[in-house]
Structure 1
Amino acid sequence: MNAAAPSANSDSRAAPAREHRIMLYSHDTFGLGHLRRSRAIASALTAHDPNASAIILTGSPVAGRFTFPEKVDHMRLPGVTKLPDGTYVSQTLGLDIDDTTNLRSGLIQTAVEQYEPDLLIVDKEPTGFRGELLPTLEWIASRGTTRCVLGLRDVLDAPGALATEWARKGATEATERFYDQIWVYGPRSIYDPTQGLPLSEATRARIHWTGYLRREVTDVAETPDTPYVLITPGGGGDGRAMVDLVIRAYESDPTLAPNAMLVYGPFLSGEVREAFEARVAKLNGRVTALGFESRIESLFAGAQGVVCMGGYNTFCEVLSFDQRAVIVPRTVPRLEQWIRAARAEELGLVRMLDEERDGMTARTMVEFIRALPAQRKPSQAGADGLLDGLDVVVARTAALLAEK
């Protein structure tokens, strides 16, 4: 029997599948961490899936200074600045913080409604900056077509302080209600950032530890021709004490080697940086400095060692490029960096210069830099087995999208 001919109203060609759309929310009120983490994830997801595109919503004022892959774009939210007393102000618009938050919230919801993402990945803040995500999360929940993931770095803060913060923000309730999965961008064997949070067993069953997010050199930057130690305070906004200590070390010991390559970060303030520049100029090339390098991976790859603060992205780069490192963690406004550095030192991955234990003196920093060549590399302490994060994120994303 001959098969029936297709009717006039049928189309024998299958309609092409819609490209997967991924949106990443990165509130970015301070520093570079959220944007850089979101950029790494978006790059990995679109590289793995040729039918995927991604948009990053970010409040970072320097987002435009980064390069993004072909199928990754970003949308800049109005920026806010955190004052020393912990309050926030609009960066440029002349609006009060409530008006700025409302503006950001409206832009976020419009972007989600127009882009219609299959997956929304929220970095760190379950309700967004000052609750700005809540209207969008409510809208998504009413539609049921977008999967939502909360992405947490390996360490958030001391458990008691974190529980208080999440209670104040309504973050626990939002996590329970709106998120299909929680991804922790670190290994469970290192630290559990949710300890102390009153999450239900059902929500804890949705937590997946990915491992750290491996970094690679994707855009090559110029590096010094002579051996150097890389000095980086990350975004730089809270790096004054560490930078001062390193410069004092080179000032106090004319024989200290190798030379230092200092990257201030974009948020180290003008007057402070000018004072540092004057001191660096007197060191006759033993210390050289850059304001900002969006391709800092190249500098990590070429360094003889690293002196840094303990932010998440910097720590991932230390492990990824197998660098002997001295971490000088901040302890305010949160203990995140200290907890990460102390645990990493305990495992033999890095050395920590602890203010209480070691003292923030030039002599101490000289000793730590001189000891760098004798340190074990992170790979000798098993770091390679901790860096599967991007592979796990890709696999978990594919599984989530396949459920739609």
Structure 2
Amino acid sequence: MSAPVSAHDIELVSPPGRGPRILIYSHDTFGLGHLRRSRAIANRLIQSHPDASILIISGSPVIGSFDFAHGVDYVRVPGVVKLPDGSYTTHSLNMALDQAVAMRQGIILESCRTLSPDLVIVDKEPTGFRGELLPALAKLKADGARIVLGVRDVMDAPEALVPEWERKGAISALVEFYDAIWVYGLQDFYEPLAALPLPPAFRQRISYTGYLRREVPTRRPLTRYPRLTRRPFILVTPGGGGDGHEMIDWVLSAYEHDRHLPNPALIVFGPFLARESRARFLERIALLPDVEALTFDSGMEHLMNAAASVISMGGYNTFCEILSLDKRALIIPRRSPRLEQTIRTEQACRLGLIQYLDGANLHPGAVRDPMEMAQAIRALPDQPLPSSAFLPNMLDGLPRIDTLTAPWLGRPQMTVRRRVARTGVAE
């Protein structure tokens, strides 16, 4: 009787006429970070494997606003959103959250069955949103797919991350289903999983890729930019915008109190900023000759490349863009519901990559000093460029992912068989 086949004993066997198949799971309960990270990885992998088929499973309501390379497509599952108290609800459907999760789970499982991927990259959540990924993981593992967890450089404070992962059963899922963990950052910058009680043997499967470099797309967006972008300007971006109200308010107050700031500002609200907040901000901006606004731009790389400097909240993707395009940046990191942005920002400031203001000022009801922001804006042109403080291999994330996937995707999988044993006999 043959012994069970484990994922580490599987040899990938090339079938004729079939390119690699890759599935990327991005649960997307809030903001744009997971989606934009998954898109960057998918577009890179399709460059290296033009015959591949890559499917992104996402809950983002704005995924259709982004361009994807030929060979990359997506399936959108019903969206869910995080409420201010940390709980979740459905984004659009008038049904209970448990029913929406069951629907998402079914779509994910059927997508896995139909695609039959060789490689699966799971973004951040080892078990998926509320465990929705577990049935698919069992199916994928049985079929011999390689399964990787990809996590950003910082997850949360250890005292919050450890109980969260224990509650979700994330560590047991990692050990049972996953072949590797990729950290999209540098070990010298931060070790996001250091506090987790991972088995020593499994900890050897962690690879630090470096940050994911962003390039300016050759295709120009259709968005018409305001005239102030024809001279040096500050790009103000709260990412998705769902929690960006306080940061935008603080920046606007600086321009209202100091009418002689050296550079104009272009504020990109983000698609998730509340409509009421956007309307109130536009009323204030109409009175400021040196401030303009856009609601959303899916080609933010173009805007950031044109900007003289950036003010942001310090999410992972914006941080990658700041490093990639070598922009002087002022970051105001949020402190809730996670300390992720604060930890990243403090580490980056310690290394001399950016400057920051205390994110405690973003708490609703906080008293924010307009002149503190104005002073920080005035200091932006004198900051060193981030490139003067880069760590080795800082932006090598995408090439590193190419290297890590080459043994798996060089010969796409159709059938599963054992590797040849030392006796030279294949089963």
TM-score bin, normalised by smaller chain: over 0.9
In structure 2, which of residues 294, 299, 303 is the aligned counterpart of residue 299 of structure 1?
Answer: 303
CA contact (8 A) 1:233 1:265 kept: yes
Larger mean Cα displacement after TM superposition, 123-132 or 351-360: 351-360
Correspondence list, 1:223-302, <5 A: 223=225, 224-284=229-289, 286-302=290-306
Report whether the alignment pairs 1:377 with 2:381: no
Q: Which residue pairs with 1:62 in the alignment?
A: 62
CA contact (8 A) 1:24 1:122 kept: yes
Whole-Å separation in 2 of the counterparts to 1:114 and 1:55: 11
Q: Which residue pairs with 1:310 in the alignment?
A: 314
CA contact (8 A) 1:319 1:383 kept: no
Report whether the alignment pairs 1:320 with 2:324: yes
Q: Which residue pairs with 1:123 in the alignment?
A: 123
Correspondence list, 1:205-224, <5 A: 205-218=204-217, 219-221=219-221, 223=225, 224=229
AA paired with 1:23?
Answer: L
Moved over 3 A (4+): 355-360
CA contact (8 A) 2:36 2:317 kept: yes
- TM-aligned CA deviation for residue 330 of structure 1: 0.1
SS at match of 1:255: coil
Change (3 A) 1:244 1:15: closer
Report whether the alignment pairs 1:169 with 2:168: yes
Report whether the alignment pairs 1:200 with 2:205: no
Q: Which residue pairs with 1:151 in the alignment?
A: 150
Paired residue total: 389
- TM-aligned CA deviation for residue 394 of structure 1: 1.1
Aligned CA RMSD, in angstroms, stands at 1.6
Whole-Å separation in 2 of the counterparts to 1:402 and 1:43: 17
- TM-aligned CA deviation for residue 356 of structure 1: 5.5
Report whether the alignment pairs 1:133 with 2:133: yes
- TM-aligned CA deviation for residue 401 of structure 1: 2.7
Q: Which residue pairs with 2:182 in the alignment?
A: 183
Report whether the alignment pairs 1:91 with 2:91: yes
Q: Which residue pairs with 1:398 in the alignment?
A: 406
Deviations 1:103-122 (A, max 9, x none): 00000000000010110000
Correspondence list, 1:327-346, <5 A: 327-346=331-350
SS at match of 2:408: helix
Q: Which residue pairs with 1:31 in the alignment?
A: 31
Q: Which residue pairs with 2:357 in the alignment?
A: 353
- TM-aligned CA deviation for residue 16 of structure 1: 2.7
CA contact (8 A) 1:250 1:366 kept: yes
CA contact (8 A) 1:211 1:389 kept: yes
SS at match of 1:41: helix
SS at match of 1:386: coil
Whole-Å separation in 2 of the counterparts to 1:92 and 1:15: 42
- TM-aligned CA deviation for residue 298 of structure 1: 0.4
Larger mean Cα displacement after TM superposition, 273-282 or 212-221: 212-221
SS at match of 1:385: coil
Deviations 1:305-359 (A, max 9, x none): 0000110000000000000000000000000000000000000000011146998
Whole-Å separation in 2 of the counterparts to 1:246 and 1:257: 14
AA paired with 2:52?
Answer: A
CA contact (8 A) 2:55 2:75 kept: yes
How does the TM-score come out when normalised to structure 1? 0.93
- TM-aligned CA deviation for residue 148 of structure 1: 0.3
Change (3 A) 1:102 1:37: same
AA paired with 2:143?
Answer: R
CA contact (8 A) 2:342 2:359 kept: no
AA paired with 1:128?
Answer: G
AA paired with 1:43?
Answer: N
Aligned residues: percent identity? 52
Whole-Å separation in 2 of the counterparts to 1:41 and 1:399: 17
CA contact (8 A) 2:265 2:291 kept: yes
Tell me: higher relative CO, structure 1 or 2? Use CA pairs within 8 A at least 6 residues apart.
2
CA contact (8 A) 2:335 2:359 kept: no
Change (3 A) 1:234 1:357: closer
SS at match of 1:339: helix
- TM-aligned CA deviation for residue 83 of structure 1: 1.5
AA paired with 1:196?
Answer: A
Change (3 A) 1:187 1:287: same
| Unaligned stretches of 5+ residues in structure 2 | 1-13, 414-427
Deviations 1:142-194 (A, max 9, x none): 222x1100000000000110001001100111111111010000011100000
| Unaligned stretches of 5+ residues in structure 1 | 1-13
Q: Which residue pairs with 2:422 in the alignment?
A: none
AA paired with 1:376?
Answer: P
Whole-Å separation in 2 of the counterparts to 1:316 and 1:271: 30
Deviations 1:1-25 (A, max 9, x none): xxxxxxxxxxxxx973411011100
Whole-Å separation in 2 of the counterparts to 1:63 and 1:15: 32
AA paired with 1:262?
Answer: I
- TM-aligned CA deviation for residue 49 of structure 1: 1.2
Whole-Å separation in 1 of the counterparts to 2:174 and 2:386: 34
